[in-house]
Amino acid sequence: MHGRVKVKTSAEQQEEKRKERQSKLKIFRKVINAFFNKVSKEEYDNDGLEITKQILASNSDYSSMWNYRKKCFANSEKPKSEIEAMLNSELTFIESCLRNNPKSYGCWHQRCFVLLKLKTPDWKRELQLCNLFLQFDDRNFHCWDYRRFVCSHSNHPLKDEIDYTNKLIESNFSNYSSWHYRSKLLPEVYPDSSVGNKIAERKLLEELELVQNAFFTDPNDQSAWFYHKWLLGRGHPMQSILSLHVSRFPSTLTCTLRKPIKEEDCQQALVRVNGTVISGKWKPHSSACYMNTWTFTPHEKIGTGLISVSCQVDGVETQITMEIDDNEALCCAKNTIETFCESSSDAKLLVLEEELNSCRELNELEPDNKWVVLTLVFLMKAIDPIRFFSEMKELLKSLCIIDSKRSCYYQDLHSKYAVENWIICADLQSRKADLRNKGITRLCHVEFLVGLTHLDLSHNKLKALGSTFLVFPWLQELKADDNEITEIDGLKALPSLITLSLNSNALSSVELLSCLSTCPNLQHVSLKSNPVSSCEKDYFKNFPFRLTL
Amino acid sequence: MASGKKVLLKVIILGDSGVGKTSLMNQYVNKKFSNQYKATIGADFLSKDMVVDDRLVTMQIWDTAGQERFQSLGVAFYRGADCCVLVYDVTMPNTFKTLDSWRDEFLIQASPRDPENLPFVVIGNKIDLENRVVSYKRAQGWCHTKNDIPYFECSAKDNINVEQAFQTVAKQALLQEADVELFPDQFPDRIDLKSNDNKPKSDCAC
Amino acid sequence: MDEVLPEEFDVILIGTGLPESVLSGALSRIGKNVLHVDSNEYYGGSWASFNIKTFDKLMSETQMHQEDNSNPVNLEALISEDEEFLLMSASQQNLSNCQSYCYLSKQPDWVVATNVVEPNVVAEPDEVEISDDKDSPVDVATTAPTMVQKHSDTEDLSCRDVDFEERNNSDNDNEKPGVSDKQSGDPAKEKSTDNDSRNGQVDAFNNATSEEKLENASDQSSQADLPHKETPLFPFYEKFYENWRRFNLDLSPKVMFSRGQLVELLIQSNVCRYLEFRNVTRTLTVLSGENRLQPVPCSRADVFKSKFVTVVEKRILMRFLTLCANFEQHPQEYEAYKDRPFQDFLQSKHLSTKVQHFIIHSIAMVSEQTSTMEGLHATQKFLKSLGRYGSSHAFLCPMYGVGELPQAFSRLSAVFGGTFCLRRRVIGIVADKTSRAVKGVIDSTGQKIKCQHLVLDESHLPDICRSGFKREVSRAIYVTDKSVSPSETEEVSLITLPPVGNFPLYRVIEAGPLCCLSPNNYYVVHALTKPSCVDENAIVDLKETFHSAEKTMFAGTAAELEIANNNESDKQKPAVLWAAYFNMMSCGVNNDSLPGNVYVMSSPGFELGFDKAMNEARRTFEIICPDEEFLPRAPEPEEIVFDDEGYKSENNGNSRENPNEQPEAGNGDYMETEEDLQEEEEPDVQGLIDQEQGVGDHVSDGNGDNA
C-alpha cells in the first residue's frame, strides 16, 4: 500500500520544547553569574563583551549590560583603530538586537553612544537604518527620536526630511509622528521672511491643500485635523506693549506687555521722562515668575508740567504724553484683527475662502462630524472673525450638541472669540468695558483689559471670578449680574474697587465672600437673588462695605 | 559569536531515484537512517541552523519529493537555489553517468545569473556497500573537469562524511549570498503569505 | 526508456492545470493514491508560463498538427468484452490563431567590425551593406517587423529562426533524463554557438555585453570627431534574446485577491511555502474621451494622494466604499436599486462620472449594466482584499508567473506520495459497458492503468464527450522597453481599458523584473479580452482586436518607432519590442456521454482571479472524498517523524496538534470555524453529567473540587 507521513504528537513536541527551554535557562543563569562576577571585579574586557552579547541578543532591555559595554569601550586601552573596529561591530550587533526588539531604549541609546564615540560615523547609513525601522512601524517613537538625533549630528538637508515625511504621509496619513515632524521641519526650512508668521505663505498654502486631501479622505482621522489647526494657528505673537499708564501721584508707571516676562528682563527696562532716564524699582503685579504687568516706582517723583514719558522694555518701546493738568494718563495700543491671528495676503484669503466652501460642502455630507464643524470655525476665524462671528457662534453651539463631552471647551472657545472681537473694536482708552450678553463662560485676554475702571460682565455664563481678576489695579466698578458664579476668590486686594454687583448668581455661602474684605476701597456689594440666605446677614456686619442682599 | 542578519540558503539535491538523496538529508539533519527503501514520501525540505564563517545561516535542503522518478521535476523546484548537490550511487554506474544531465538540467532550469560560478557539490553515496563500481578517481576526475566541483564520498547509513559534505555545501551556498545589501531600498517586497499578513496594528499611540 | 507505471491508482488526473493540481494535492494529502500525468513536457497546461523562446515555438507549433509517432497500441488486447474505449482526441489544442513577432533589428555585423553604430538599419543579415565610409549615413531601411513565427507559412522562417531550430534540435538529440524543457539550450554551448557565428574581430569583444560594445563604439566615434551618431533606440535582436530564460510569460495571466479562496487555501494547506508573491501595486484606467492612463484611487492612501479627483469627490468616494464594505447592514441604502443597474445606484449616491468609472471598471470590475447587488458584492470582494498585504494593495501575483501555482500544488501531491509523469499521453478511457463507469485509462505506451476516479482537464475530453468549441479569451502579450506609465519605483499594474466604440473591454496586467517575469529594463504586458465574434470559424485579426488597447498604452512597435525616429509624440509611452497574439479555446462538455466518475476541469477563462478554479477543485474533491477535509495543513518538516516505525503506525498527519503553528487568527473564516468545531468535538463529559443532574455550571463545580 501507500506510505503515509507520520507527524510528531503534540506531547513529543512539547517535550522537545520543554527540554530546549530548560537548557536555555541553565545557560542564562550561568552567563548572568559570570556577568556579575565581571562587574564586581571591575573587569571591562573582551570576555565581558562576549558574555553580555549572549544575553543582550535575546533580551536587549537589560540596560546594566549595555552600560557595562559602554564602560568597556570607554576604558579600553587598545589602539584607536581597533576601538573604531569594535564600535563598528557594536553597531552591527545593536542592529541585530533591534530587529528582535525595535522599541528597546537600551539599543537606541547604545547606538547614540557608539555614534558619538566613532571618529568617522556613517550618518547616511544610520538614516537608512531609520528608514528601515520606520517602514516596519511608522510610529516607533524611539526611532523617530533617533532620526532627529542623526539629523542634528549630520548635515543631512532638512528638506530631504520633509520629502521623507511626504512619503510616509502618502502611504498612511493617520500618523501623528509624521505630521508632527513636519510641523517641526517646515518653520526651519521655510521660515517667513516678512511678518513673523510661522512659515512662508507659499508653503503654507501647499500644506493646507495637502492636509485638506487627508481630512476629506477620512474626516474621522484626528491627525490631519490637528495638523490643519496648527497650520491655521498663528506663530507666537510678537512682543508688544499693550498699555502704559503713568500717574504723578502716587508716582508710578505701569506697563502691560503682550507676552509675560521675568523680573530680570524687567529690571533692564528703561524709563525716560522727557528723554532722561530715571531710576526706580520694578515690581510685578503679583508673585508669579512671569508677568505681563509690571509697576515702576521712580526714586524721585515724576515732575509736573507737560511731560513725555517713554518705556523701553523687552525690545519694545512706547511713549505717552501727559498734559499739565493730568494726574494720570493711559495709552493703549491699537488692536486689529491681526492682533489675534496671522496676517493674510489676498492669495491666502482666496485659498482659505475656497477651503471654507469645500468644508461647507463636507459639512453637508457629514453634518455630524465635529472636526468639520470645528474646522469651519477655525477657517472663519482665520478669514474674518468679525464678519463670520454670528455663524461661528451657531457652529460652536451645534458642536456643544454633537460633541457634548467637550461642550465646555467649545463655550470657552466662543468666549475667547467674543472677547477678542470686542477688544478689536473697543475703545480701550475710555477705560470702560461693556461685555454684557456675550455668552462668555471665561474671561480671557485680561492683559488687554488691565487699564479698565469699569467692567460690566452681566448676563453671561461665568461660573467663577478667579485669579484672572487680580490684574485690575484701577477697576472701580465691576458688574457681573445674571451669571452662574459660584466662586469669587479672584476678587482679592483690588485696590480701586468701590462697587461690586453680583446679583442673580449662584453664590451659596457667606464664607465665599471673605476675600472681599481685602479690597480696601470696597463700599457697595450687591448680592440680590443669590442662594446666600438673609439669615446669615449678621456675618457681614463686620465688613466695611454696604451689602445688599 | 555570529552576528548580523540571518541568512537563508536554499540547497537542492538532485540525482537519480534510489541514490539516497532523502537518506543523506535525513542523516545530516535528523541523524536518522532507515534501511528500508521507499520512494520519497513526506520529504519536502529540511532546515538546519548553522554557523558558517561567523555567520548564522539557515540551510534549507529541498528534496525532489519523488518527482524525479519519471523526469517530472518542474521548473519551480529550481527557483532561487544557492547551491546544488548532485548525488549518485557508487554501486550504480548509471547514476554516475546521469550526473552530467542533472547538472545541465539544473543550469538550464534554475537559470542562475552567473551559471559559471553557481556552486555544485557532488556526493558519491553508499560507500558502505561492498559492490562499489564507480571509482573515486573517475568521479573526482569528472568533478575536476566541471570547474573543480568539490567531491565527497559518503555513507548516509554509517554517517560517513555527511557532515563535512554539507558544511561545504553551506559554505559554497553562502558565497552566492555574499554581497547581500545591508539595507536594500526596496524593503521586503516579496510576500510570504503567512508572515506578511498585516496584523491589525494596535491603536495605542506609541 | 519509459519506466513502467504502477497498474492501479485511486485517482488518475490528466493535465496539470491549476484545478487538477489543487485536486491532486488535496487527494494525496489525505492519503489517496494518485497518478498525475500530462502529455506536455511542462507543468500547467493552459495555466503554464514559458520563457520567450519556448513561447515563440509554442506560437508556431500550435497550428501544426502534432504527429503521433508512438507505436500504435493494440487496443483489442487491452479491452475486454464488457468494456468500451473512449478515444481521446489526438490534438488537444486549446490555442488558436497564434502568432508572435519580434520588432527588433538584428545587429549588423559591420557595427562591431567598424565601430560605427547606426541604429536605423533594420535589415536581414544578408541585406546588410557593409559600409566603410563612416561619414555617409546608411540608408534607413524600411524593413518590416521581423515576424518570428507565423502560423500560416512555417516554411518561410527567417534564418535566425532556423538558427534557433537548429539549436533546439541539437538539444533534442542529446537526450537527457530529467530534462523537461527541451527547447532550452545548454548555456555554455549556446555561448560558443554565438561566438562561432561572428568573425574573428568580434572575439575581442566577447566578454563585453553588446551594450558595452555599443558604448565603446559610440565613444570612439565621438573621440574621432565624427558626425553625431545616435545611440540605438532599442536593443538589438540578439541582445534581446540573450536573456530569453529570464522571461516568464503566462498563457493565462491572473491576479489573486488577497482574501480570495486561493490565498486562503495556500495558507491553510502550507503550500504557500513553495511560493513567493508580489503585490499588484497600482490600478490604472483610461477615462472616456481621454487617451492617457491614470491611477485609480482604491485605498485610503490612494484616495488621499490622488491628484485627479477633487476633495469633495474624495469624500463621496470614501463614503461609498465604506458603505460597500458592509452594505448588508444598511439595506435601506440600496433597497430601491436592488433590481436596477449598478450605475443607477452609483448616480443616486451623487458619485461623479469619473468616480463611477473608477468603481465600475476598476474596483468592482463589472459593467454599467451589472445589477446593483452584483456590483455591491464585487466591490465588497475587492475591499475585503484591500490591505491584507500592504495597506493599499488588494491583489497579489506569484513571482515567476501563474505557472508556479500548479507546480506548487503538484509538489504537495508529490510530497504526500503522488506519482507524477510528464510527457505521458493517455490515448483513451476504458469504461464499463454496463455501469458506464470508468475503469482505467490506456497510455500511448500501451499500458492500461486502473483507477476509481478520473479527472481530466477540458482539453483532454474524449471526442464524443465534447460539444462545441469556442474562443473563450483573446490574448495579446507584449514585451516593452518601459512601463506603460513610468514611475519612480517599479510597479505591478492592473489596468482596465473600458470598451470604446467598436472596441471591447480589455483587462491588462503589466509586470516586469520585480515579479521575475522579464529581465531588467523590460516589461511584460498581458492583455485579455473576450472575443467579440462568437463564430469559431470566423477569421479574426487579433492585431486588429487589440488595436485600441495598443494605441492607448504604447507609442508603437520598435520597428515603427525606429523609422519615425524624429517623432516626438508619446515619448513617455513604451515601445513594443515583441508581441504574441492567440486565442484560448474552450469546449463544452456533453455530460450525457461522460461516465459518472469522470470529472472535467474547466479552462482558465476570462476571470481575473482564481475563485472559479478553486471552487471546481473543492467541489470535485467533496464528491470523490465526501467526508474528508480539503487541503488540511501540511505538517512542517520538523514535525515529521522519519524512523521506520513511523510508517507502520499509519498516522496520516491529519491531526493538527500544534495550534500555535496556525496562521494568525483572522486569516480566514474557514480556519476559525474549524477551530471552533474542534473544541466542540470534545464535549466536557463532566459538564454534561452535571447539567443532567442539575448541579449547575461546572465553574462553581470545579471550585468545589478544589475545596
What residues make up the domain containing C112? 105-233
* Residues of chain A contacting B5 with CB distance shorter than 8 Å: 95-96, 99
Give me the total of CB pairs closer than 8 Å, taking one residue from chain A and one from chain C. 88
The answer on A530 and A490 residing in a single domain is: yes
Residue A181 falls inside a structural domain = yes
Sign of the torsion angle spanned by Cα atoms A490, A492, A498, A504: positive
Domain tally, chain C: 1
Task: Retrieve residue C624's grid coordinates.
Answer: 470523490
pLDDT at C537: 60
pLDDT by residue (tens digit) across C97-123? 899 999 999 887 765 544 444 444 333
Q: A189 and A95, same structural domain?
A: yes
The residue assigned the cell 531600498 is B185
Identify the pLDDT of residue C551: 92
Segment A353-395, tens digit of pLDDT? 999 998 998 899 889 999 999 999 999 999 999 999 999 999 9
Q: How far is C391 from chain A (nearest CA, A)?
A: 8
| Residue position matching grid coordinates 502618502 | A170
Say if A229 falls within a structural domain.
Answer: no
Range C152-173 average pLDDT: 38
* CB pair distance less than 8 Å for A217 and C635: no
Establish if B181 belongs to a structural domain.
Answer: no
Residue C221 has pLDDT above 70, yes or no: no
Beta-carbon separation of A4 and B42 below 8 A: yes
CATH number at residue A362: 1.25.40
Chain A residues with beta carbon closer than 8 angstroms to that of C311: 212-213, 216, 358, 362
- The answer to the question of residue B197 being in a domain is no
- pLDDT band for B13, please (50, 70, 90 cuts): very high
Helix (H, G, I), strand (E, B) or coil at A356: helix
How many structural domains is chain B composed of? 1
What are residue C407's phi and psi, to 5 degrees?
A: -65, -35
User: Which of B26, B32, B70 minimises the CB distance to C422?
Assistant: B70
Q: Is the ipTM of this complex over 0.85?
A: yes
C-beta separation of B6 from B60 below 8 A: no
Q: Which residue has the cell 584607536?
A: A80
Q: Does A173 touch chain C (CB under 8 A)?
A: yes
Which amino acid, residue A58? S
- Report whether C506 contacts C630 (CB < 8 A): no
Domain assignment of residue A246, yes or no: yes
Shared domain check, A460 and A500: yes
Asked if A134 and A280 sit in the same domain, the reply is no
Alpha-carbon distance of A173 to A117, in angstroms, equals 37
Parent domain of A303:
241-332
Residues A379 and A485 in one domain: no
Answer yes or no: is C635 within a domain. Answer: no
pLDDT in tens, A283-306: 887 767 788 899 999 998 888 888
Q: How far is CA A87 from the centre of its chain?
A: 40
Q: Are residues A251 and A314 in the same domain?
A: yes
Q: Is A347 in the same domain as A317?
A: no
A30 and A156 in a single domain? The answer is: yes
| Residue B203 within any structural domain of the chain | no
> In this predicted structure, what is the pLDDT of residue A435?
94
For chain A, which chains pass the contact test of at least 3 CB pairs under 8 Å? B, C
Which of A321, B9, A120, A9 lies closest to C640 in space, CA to CA? A9
Residues of C in contact with A170 (CB under 8 A): 301, 304-305
Q: How far apart are CA B110 and CA B81, in angstroms?
A: 7
pLDDT in the model for residue C570: 60
Q: Per the domain annotation, does C187 fall within a domain?
A: yes
pLDDT over 90 percentage in chain A: 48
- Please judge whether C316 and A365 are an interchain contact, meaning their C-beta atoms are less than 8 angstroms apart: yes
pLDDT at C85 > cutoff 70: yes
CB contact under 8 A, B3 and A89: yes
Nearest-CA distance A359 → chain C (Å): 9
pLDDT number for residue A180: 92
Angle between helix axes C404-415 and C18-29 (nearest 10 degrees) is 20
**Rounded mean pLDDT of chain A?**
88
Cβ atoms of B158 and B128 within 8 Å: the answer is yes
Least confident range from B72-81, B136-145, B148-157, C566-575: namely C566-575
Sequential DSSP letters for A115-180: HHH-SS--HHHHHHHHHHHHHH-TT-HHHHHHHHHHHHHS---HHHHHHHHHHHHHH----HHHHH
- In terms of domains, do A362 and A438 share one? no
CATH of residue A250: 2.60.40.1130
Q: Please check the confidence at residue A405 and state whether its pLDDT lies above 90.
A: yes
pLDDT in tens, C362-399: 999 999 889 999 999 999 999 999 988 877 889 999 99
In chain A, the number of structural domains is: 4
CB contact under 8 A, C410 and B68: no
Domain harbouring A96, CATH code: 1.25.40.120
With an 8 Å Cβ cutoff, is B5 touching chain A? yes
Query: A-contacting residues of B 152-181, CB under 8 Å?
Result: none
What digits encode the pLDDT tens for the residues A87-110?
Answer: 988 998 898 888 888 999 999 999
Phi, psi of A70 (to 5 degrees): -55, -45
Measure in Å the smallest separation between the Cα of A363 and chain C Cα atoms.
11
A125 torsion bin: left (phi>0), alpha (psi -120 to 50), beta (else): alpha
Phi, psi of C431 (to 5 degrees): -120, 155
Q: Is residue A210 part of a domain?
A: no
Is B40 within a domain?
yes
For residue B46, give the nearest of C245, C417, C637 by CB distance.
Answer: C637
User: For A415-463, how does the pLDDT look when each residue is reduced to its tens digit (9 = 90+)?
Assistant: 999 999 999 998 888 999 999 999 999 999 999 999 999 999 999 999 9
List the single range of A428-442, C20-34, C604-618, C633-647 with lowest mean pLDDT.
C633-647
- Residues in B closer than 8 angstroms to C246, CB to CB, are 111
Residue B193, domain member (yes or no): no
Same domain, A535 and A452: yes
The residue out of A302, A332, A362 marking a domain boundary is A332
Is the residue at C426 inside a domain? no
Query: Could you tell me if residue A214 is inside a domain?
Result: no
* B98 in C contact zone (CB under 8 Å): yes
Provide the residue range defining the domain that includes B72: 7-176
DSSP single-letter state for residue B147? T
Q: CA of A428, closest CA in chain B: separation in Å? A: 46
Q: CATH number for the domain including B26?
A: 3.40.50.300
* A14 close to C (CB below 8 A): no
Is residue C155 in a domain?
A: yes
Determine contact: B58 vs chain C, CB below 8 A: no
Residue B78 lies in a domain: yes
Interface of C with A (CB under 8 A): 31, 33, 300-301, 303-305, 310-312, 314-316, 318-319, 391-392, 416-417, 635, 639-641, 646-647, 649-653, 655, 657-658
Window 29-58 of B: residues touching A by CB (8 A cutoff) are 38, 41-42
Residue A509 · residue A532 · CB < 8 Å: yes
Q: How would residue C538 be classed by pLDDT, with cut points 50, 70 and 90?
A: low
Distance CA C165, CA C157 (A): 10
